[in-house]
A and B are shown apart, each in its own frame.
Chain A
Amino acid sequence: MNREKDMANYALVFFVVLSALLLLFPSTKFAQTARIFASYSLYPSLHYGAKYDYYIRNVPENFLNILKTDQENRELKNRIKELEVSVKAAEAAEAENRRLTGEMGLARNFALKGAWARVINKNPLDWYGAFFIDKGSRAGVTLNSTVVGFEGSRLGLAGRVFEVYPYFSKVLLITNGVSSVICAAPGASFEGLAEGRGTWLLKVNYIPEGSDIAEGMELVTSPGGLLFPQGLPVGRVARVHPKESFMNFITADVSPAISINSLKEVYVIKRELPEDLSGLSEGAKK
């Protein structure tokens, strides 16, 4: 028992002296370097932005440079992440700028006056049916105004204004199942009724048997239709169906002149419509 007590006393003296030496001579390079190495390895975040003048005293310069480089590296990595986000945003803005510049150029040469509007909402359940634009009656949009879309250097009929609110409007697309447009082919002698089917294709009906319709032919709005200005591109004939034996007219599939489901901006044509048309009921075919 006494031996253990003696050993305990010796151990106490030994460790206390050792601790006191560490306390009295704390500036040894080895101790400080080991200490900062351990703490930096286990808790690097402790050192970010810290004023550790006291802490790093007597640590060799080359070791400090490694630590500073590591901190600089972490800061630069964070900066790169921020810049990547900025670059993506700038690319999107640049693409939009290019697209709008092209569309504005087309609009200047477009004889019909109107206003630009941005597509603000689409219902996934009614993708080819309708969308909302950010212009309403306060911007001069009226019921049944013609809506035109642009795709690159092409323009095409997108639909007509279906509902008007003070600050936004709803556009009924030509691909909607209740839409129909009287169309004709430039230089040809026939007219047909292009009807929406709720998909990306239109169907043209009532083309007289023996008409010179052919695949690839461009169809535009007909002068016979009162609702839309004449001459607006509607689409291109994708497929002509053979005449059924019990019918006396032929039908054709038409792909719209523009990709209607990817429109981001549209041009709403302002023009005076006959009074009867301004009160056209919702969803009614003209």
Chain B
Amino acid sequence: MTIIGDILLYLLTGAVYWWWTANLTVFGLSPNIIFMAALAAAILARPVKAMAYGFLFGLFLDLLGSGVFGAYALTYTLMAYGVYILKRHFDLIGGFSQIIAALTLSVLTMLLDQSLSLIFAKLNPLELKAFLVEPFLNAALTPFVVYLFSQLKKGFGVL
């Protein structure tokens, strides 16, 4: 049941991301639902599952994107591991700490993905306006996504 719940959560998150980016972008900008979901999974789940979520969410973005294949998968895997390390030293249950973590990790993941794209394919996928705005959108919405995921965890045993 847990596996089915995880698969459903993964597909649901992908569907929401797809719908949001297709219909709710403002000036070409929208929060990165997948990033927030990967971060929420990293905060709430055990480390192995968190990294699996990060890898698979990254793979989803790689499938949809035009950058180097595997860059997001690697980035979000590393992010999940980083959050696992962070959790041992910082409290990530509070909303404020989640906002700070989302803001910081958004910028770091963008830079890492940009670096991987430049190294492996000489591509430059990062847009300046996305780099300047998206971290704030992610930070603003991450506590809500974490709360939603935590409720799903309590109610259905996913994550």
Contact = CB atoms under 8 A, between A and B. Distances in A.
Interface string A15-47: 110111111101000011011001100110000
A52 B66 CA distance: 9
B73 A19 contact: yes
B68 A26 contact: yes
Contact of B77 (A4, A16, A26, A52): A16
Interface stretch (B26-34, B51-59, B127-135, B140-148): B51-59
A11 B47 contact: yes
A55 B84 CA distance: 34
Given A35-B63, A42-B64, A52-B66, A8 B77 contact: no
Given A15-B77, A18-B73, A34-B63, A23 B120 contact: yes
A23 B116 contact: yes
A21 B120 CA distance: 12
A11 B51 contact: yes
A262 to B, nearest CB: 47
For A22, A38, A39, A52, which residue has the most chain B Cβ atoms within 10 angstroms? A22
Top 5 A-B pairs, shortest CB-CB distance: A22-B70, A19-B74, A8-B47, A23-B70, A15-B77
21 contacts: A8-B81, A11-B47, A11-B51, A12-B51, A12-B77, A12-B81, A15-B73, A15-B74, A15-B77, A18-B73, A19-B55, A19-B71, A20-B70, A24-B120, A26-B69, A26-B70, A26-B120, A34-B63, A35-B62, A43-B22, A43-B64
Interface of A: 4, 7-8, 11-12, 15-16, 18-24, 26, 31-32, 34-35, 38-39, 42-43, 52, 54-55
